[in-house]
Chains A and B, each alone.
Chain A
Amino acid sequence: MTWSEMQPLLEQACWDTLYMVGWSTLIAVVAGLPLGILLVLTDRGGLLQNTVLNKLIGQIVNIARSMPFIILMVALMGFTRWITGTTIGREAAIVPLAIGATPFFARLVETAVREVDGGLVEAVQSMGGNTWTVVRKVLVPESLPSLISSTTTTIVTIIGYSAITGAVGAGGLGDIAIRYGYQRFETELMWITVGVLAVVISIIQFAGDYAARRLHRRGGHSGAAPRLRFLKLAPSKAS
């Protein structure tokens, strides 16, 4: 396979991957953020303490997270068809990707929000703020650097997952790597795909860390940003 043959394939695959990852990240963040905050608020001693709800959300998140992604994908096929009308293609892949990443992100949000000093919550309460004020003015802004790091981790994980959806006809870089690289013995193309994935992930990780660190430093902290994750660059699932 020559480069001129590979190039359009790779280009299309890149866009497909970004499309799937972009949308599923957006959905995972929009759904996972409130879920994660709710996990903190409903916990014992939280502002909206509700043990039943807390256990329920916690269990759902645990079950969703313990399921191997490929099984989750198959299990969700009916739901995916109901939403998008098909189980094949980029749009169809977004459904399991978003659903798989939401509980993952929710747990990361929970950890980040839990780090916020309880004294700040108390301070806002003493000013007459309600729970919504606490969430909006304290929990989210104060944990923002961590939340950005969590988003970065989530994106990287979704890219890993997207390679698996590629195997069932969703397109994208993972699809190229498997169909051409593995099944047709185009070893060269496979390695290029892996290289492209590594570059994409590095860029995302770098951008995320940079943003988190800038926000962190704005707060006047001179130390390193929380959780530098360069060592966990490419998840092994990416191939």
Chain B
Amino acid sequence: MPGENRAAHSTVTETPVITTSGLTKVYRSRGREVTALDGVDLHVREGEVYGVIGQSGAGKSSLIRCVNLLERPTAGTVSVAGQDLTALAGRGSRASKDLRRARSRIGMVFQHFNLLSSRTVKDNIELPLEILGLSGAERSRKALELLDLVGLADKAKSYPAQLSGGQKQRVGIARALAGDPKVLLSDEATSALDPETTRSILKLLRDLNQQLGLTVLLITHEMDVVKSVCDSAALMENGRIVESGTVTELLATPGSELAAALFPVSGAATGDDRTVVDVTFHGEAATQPVISQLSRTYNIDISILGAAMDTVAGKQVGRMRIELPGRFEENVVPIGFLREQGLQVDVADSAGEAPATTPEDSTLLVKEGAK
């Protein structure tokens, strides 16, 4: 169960490992300008799994490529593990020696694995070690160790084409770890995989994060990825980060798009004769039978319109949309009761013309302070 290995979850420190400030990337081609990144400030703390989510074209890919300077930012700075990479880069378009050395300490995994088809699995993992200049014996030892770590000890002599997608990504991860990086960049690592394999790869990333204290920056377009492994998340739209924070913080933020997307609830909004509220559970409150307490204490009938519960970053969290009979004014006391229990309560607004039936509409939620 995910809940169990979370007990050991204490790798996150306050030390920033990846920091970007004012990161801007403008692509110019044939007189046309496209702004892929528009002043992105990203702060990833040591030991955390940080997810950047957004639709395709939001700039996620540019962002992660700017972190190890595979793409040169047009403006802004990137520092990784206390080193200002933008300063190392030099002025030419080619990577300086210092930048290359810094890159070798940042692992990267790719959506399409990017394994060399002409090399065996073991030789693929040895590639970064060859670049680092290790001797043959050292390379071999390290590669076998890493294969063991990702659970592919028996595939050393296979060629990538003989592996399944999940196995290929495990090789990709082992290869990314070869240089003993402190930071792992994951570029849609699970997007080409089926749900089952996605889960196993995410679990591997989570385990590596905890065992090695590895900081992981991942970009994805799948909410489930953020939900199952991320400590913190940022939402990107049109080259900007529109929301960011730890998952718990995001959940506690009224009207958070990310929270709504993580826990989509549906159902009609408040009307003349009913009050619809969204209740967000996290921490202790998630384990308390608050709804039945509410029902018994105030003797009211509660309908559950929609609910989503899950474990996020090791904690039980969830959202529920419930309907209380009567107008909002009549329900002030029960709502107060819910807040007293440590729950975050947002009233689904009646002012909105259309009923809030989709997660997108949850921005209509009335801003109500949490507890």
Contacts and interface: CB of A to CB of B under 8 A. Distances in A.
Nearest to B117: A219
A119 interface: yes
Given A142-B118, A219-B159, A220-B162, A127 B104 contact: yes
Nearest to B101: A128
Contacts of B100: 128-130
A215 B116 CA distance: 13
A122 B68 CA distance: 11
B114 interface: yes
Given A123-B108, A142-B116, A137 B94 contact: no
A47 B94 CA distance: 8
Main secondary structure of the interface of A (DSSP, over half): helix
B352 to A, nearest CB: 45
A218 B118 contact: yes
B116 A138 contact: yes
B70 A125 contact: yes
Nearest to B178: A127
Interface in B245-287: none
A124 interface: yes
Interface in A119-144: 119-120, 122-131, 133, 137-138, 141-142, 144
Contact of A49 (B93, B114, B158): B93
B112 A119 contact: yes
Contacts of B179: 127-128
Contacts of B128: 127-128
A122 B172 CA distance: 13
Interface in B79-116: 93-95, 100-104, 106, 108, 110, 112, 114, 116
Contacts, number: 79
Interface bracket on B: 20 to 34
B70 A129 contact: no
A221 interface: yes
B110 A123 contact: yes
A188 interface: no
Contacts of A48: 94
Contacts of A137: 116, 127, 130-131
Nearest to A218: B159
Contacts of A11: none
Contacts of B160: 219-220
B300 interface: no
B199 interface: no
Nearest to A136: B130
Contacts of B130: 137
A117 B117 CA distance: 10
A125 B108 CA distance: 10
A49 B158 CA distance: 36
A220 B159 contact: yes
Interface in A99-130: 117, 119-120, 122-130
A215 B106 CA distance: 32
B158 to A, nearest CB: 8
B203 to A, nearest CB: 23
B333 interface: no
Interface of B: 68, 70, 93-95, 100-104, 106, 108, 110, 112, 114, 116-119, 127-128, 130-132, 158-162, 175, 178-179, 185
26 contacts: A117-B114, A119-B110, A119-B112, A122-B114, A123-B108, A123-B110, A124-B131, A126-B103, A126-B106, A126-B185, A127-B127, A127-B128, A127-B175, A127-B178, A127-B179, A128-B100, A128-B103, A128-B128, A129-B100, A133-B131, A137-B116, A141-B116, A215-B118, A219-B161, A220-B161, A220-B162
5 smallest A-B Cβ distances: which pairs? A220-B161, A128-B104, A123-B114, A127-B128, A220-B159
Given A47-B94, A133-B131, 8 more contacts: A49-B93, A126-B103, A128-B101, A128-B128, A137-B127, A144-B118, A218-B159, A219-B117
